[in-house]
Amino acid sequence: TSFGFKDVPEEDKSRLVGNVFSSVASSYDLMNDLMSGGLHRLWKDRLVSELHPFPGMKHLDVAGGTGDVAFRILDNINSISRRAVKYDPADNLNDETQIYVCDINPNMLNVGKKRAIERGLGESHSLVWVEGDAEALSFDNSSMDGYTIAFGIRNVTHIEKALAEAYRVLKRGGRFLCLELSHVDIPVFKELYDYYSFSVIPAVGELVAGDRDSYQYLVESIRRFPPQHKFAALIADAGFQKVQYENMVGGVVAIHSGLKL
C-alpha cells in the first residue's frame, strides 16, 4: 500500500522508524510548526506545566531528541529558582537538576545538542543526552522524579514495554506524562481532520521536506495508535495509579498522566 509500513514485520519497524526520523530531522522544526499551526509549542508548555518541575529534580524525557521538552523543563525550573523568596545561589540545587534526554536516533539528539548550544546551554550540567530505546532504558530502577514522552510513544514497537520501563525507572510518587497525537471523535470536525491528515499533511511533507512517505507514515501511525481510553487502560495495566487524560483541540492531541505510588 502507499501507506508505508503496515505490512512490515515488527523487527524491521524500529529500523524503519529510525530511517524516517533521520530523513526528517533537519526539517523537523519547520514541519512541526507548519502542521500544527504552531500549536505544538502550546501543547508542550501544557505538558511541562502538568509535570510541576522543581529544582533538583531528576527527569527523563524519552524520544526527546530535539530537546523541545527538556528546554521547557529547564526554563520552568530556572524561573522557579529566580522567583524563590530566599534564593541562595550557593545552595546549588539547580546544579543538581538532571534532565536526561533519551532518543533512539543520534541525528535527532544532534539537533537537540546544537539547539542547546544556540540557547547558551551547551555547558549546562543539567542536560544529559543519551542514545537509547524507550523499550529498554539504561537507567536504574526508581531513579527518576518524572518521565515525559512527547510525540514519541506512537513510534515505539511495543507500547507495553515502554510503559513498563517508564514505571520501572520512576521513583514512588513519580509522575508519568505522555503527549501524543490522538483521536478526534466529533462529527464534522473528524471528517475535516481526516481530510487534513490524509491529504494535506503528506502534500506539505513533500513540498517542504521533499519526503512524502515519512509524512504518510506519520498519518498512518496516528490512525493505528490506540484511542484515549484504551491507551489510559494500558498505562493503568503498567501499574500506574490516578491515570487521567486531557484532550486538546477535540482529541487531535491528548495528554495522558499517571503516578507511580
Interface with ligand SAM by CB under 6 A: which residues?
Answer: 17, 21, 62-66, 68-69, 103-105, 108, 133-135, 150-152, 155-156
Burial classification of residue 198, based on how many CB atoms lie within 10 Å of its CB (0-12 exposed, 13-18 middle, 19 or more buried): middle
Nearest approach in angstroms of CB 136 to ligand SAM is: 9
Shortest distance in whole angstroms from residue 40 CB to ligand SAM: 7
70 known member of a binding site: no
The cell for 214 is 515519512
Q: Using alpha carbons only, what angle is made at residue 248 by residues 247 and 249, rounded to the nearest 5 degrees?
A: 125
- Angstrom distance (rounded) from CA 236 to CA 199: 35
The residue among 71 and 245 lying less far from ligand SAM, judged by its C-beta, is 71
**Considering beta carbons, is residue 6 or 15 the nearer one to ligand SAM?**
15
Alpha helices in 119-211 (DSSP H): 159-169, 189-195, 201-209
- State the cell numbers at 215: 509524512
Least Å from the CB of residue 246 to ligand SAM: 17
Q: Closest separation between CB of residue 169 and ligand SAM, Å?
A: 13
Query: Is 133 annotated as contributing to ligand binding?
Result: yes
**Residue 249 burial class via C-beta count within 10 angstroms: exposed 0-12, middle 13-18, buried 19 and up:** middle
Whether the CB-CB separation of 167 and 239 falls below 8 Å is answered with yes
Which of helix, strand or coil describes residue 54?
A: coil
Q: What is the C-alpha separation between 244 and 37, in angstroms, rounded?
A: 26
Of 99 and 134, the one with the shorter C-beta distance to ligand SAM is 134
CB closer to ligand SAM out of 91 and 200: 200
Q: Minimum CB separation from ligand SAM for residue 1, in Å?
A: 22
Q: Which is nearer to ligand SAM, 93 or 162 (CB)?
A: 162
> Most distant CA pair in the chain: distance in Å?
62
Q: Is 134 annotated as a binding residue?
A: yes
Q: Which residues fall in the annotated binding site for S-adenosyl-L-methionine?
A: 66, 103, 133-134
Binding residues: 66, 103, 133-134
